[in-house]
Structure 1
Amino acid sequence: MELFEGRPTDCQGRLAKEIRVYDFLDSLGIKYQRIDHEALMTIEACQEVDQLLGAMICKNLFLCNRQETDFYLLLIPGDKKFKTKDLSSQIGSARLSFAKENYMEEFLDITPGSVSILGLMNDKDRKVRLLIDRDVVKEPYIGCHPCINTSSLRISTNDMLEKIIPAMGHELTYVEL
């Protein structure tokens, strides 16, 4: 695997949603590094890539309440255990569970295994609330997929917090898990 600067020079064979991510980042003047790899479906499978990227390994969890009316994208360190009760009390939403695949595709234009904070750029109606564990932002870089799990990006945490999230129009709620 090789670390590249910025977007691929040849985008043939790449999905439109991935190209939209590169267009979005480039429009903001964001510098990022990229590794292309085979599809990675789990946090464990991402470890080698994240070591090469030198970035925080994040779990990206797409959650909802029992009524399926409130949706959340939670970023936590990859080695941290997730317990719904710890999060529920902090955000005032009981009975959290993993949201159905169809909501993930409808709101974020992503599929399981490709969940990424960058999917929020597709959430024009702001249906998904962004939650980030405070430990995630202690690291200088965040690793994430460009809405497809065959590439991974390294983005400065400051750029993510100060440029990307505001440009996506999503407010950020910090949590401590």
Structure 2
Amino acid sequence: MFFVSDIYTMPPDKLDTILQKETYRVLQSLHIPFERVDTDEAITMEDCVQIDKKLDMKMVKTLFLCNRQQTAFYLFITAGDKPFRSKDFSNVLGVSRVSFAPANLMEKMLGTKIGAATVFSAILDKDNAVQIVFDKDVLAEEWYGCSDGITTSYMKIKTEKIIHDFLPFVKHIPTIIEV
């Protein structure tokens, strides 16, 4: 049985990473309300089904991608149940074919490990080395469900707060695509 805690509206008592600490600091400074749960380690979208039910929302799928030379990086945020096709993503953006970025770059650039990729990594991306790309379908949802930077803590926030408050604050202008 996959564990999902009660719903909380405050940060966890123990913050495990720099990204997780900064995520809650920024949310509080911007007065962005959230609901969150603690969970067993969730790595796949299948793991997120119970989290979705508890928080009454749909978890996004966040993919860290790069070109072959590892000189262009993308954080692609799409619907959790939508299949990812590298060719379609590359064609829509007009870039060379992308693939999943290596785990070591994910930890170095995003401050997360596999399974915890999150839009909140933009906090750490001070040089805008990572282009934030949203699937248009995500913007149609009232709620945005994602990791807070670790694989055992997930949150629900109004999508408009991510787009209109959080991303401008961290100086990232998202690209919106339809795939």
Q: Deviations over 1:36-86 (max 9, x none)?
A: 111111111011101211222211110001111100000111111111111
Q: Is the 8 A contact 1:56 1:136 kept in 2?
A: no
Secondary structure class of the residue paired with 1:79 = coil
The aligned counterpart of 2:114 is 112
Distance 2:18 2:167 in 1: 21
For normalisation by structure 1, the TM-score amounts to 0.94
Q: Which runs of 5+ in 2 are unaligned?
A: none
Could you tell me the percent identity over the aligned residues? 35
Alignment partner, residue 2 of structure 1: 6
Q: Deviations over 1:5-32 (max 9, x none)?
A: 1313x22x63343122111110111100
Contact map agreement 2:9 2:36 (CA 8 A) in 1: yes
Measured in 2, the distance between the counterparts of 1:95 and 1:87 equals 8
Counterparts of 2:30 and 2:150 in 1: how far apart (Å)?
Answer: 20
CA root-mean-square deviation:
1.2
SS at match of 1:49: helix
Structure 1, unaligned runs of 5 or more: none
Q: Work out the CA distance in 1 between the residues paired with 2:101 and 2:21.
A: 26
Amino acid at match of 2:9: E
Alignment coverage as a number of residue pairs: 175
Q: How does 1:23-38 map to 2 (within 5 A)?
A: 23-38=25-40
Alpha-carbon distance between aligned partners in 2 of 1:166 and 1:124, rounded to the nearest angstrom = 13
- In the TM superposition, what is the alpha-carbon distance from 1:94 to its structure 2 partner? 1.4
TM-superposed CA distance for 1:113, in Å, is 1.0
TM-score calculated relative to the size of structure 2: 0.93
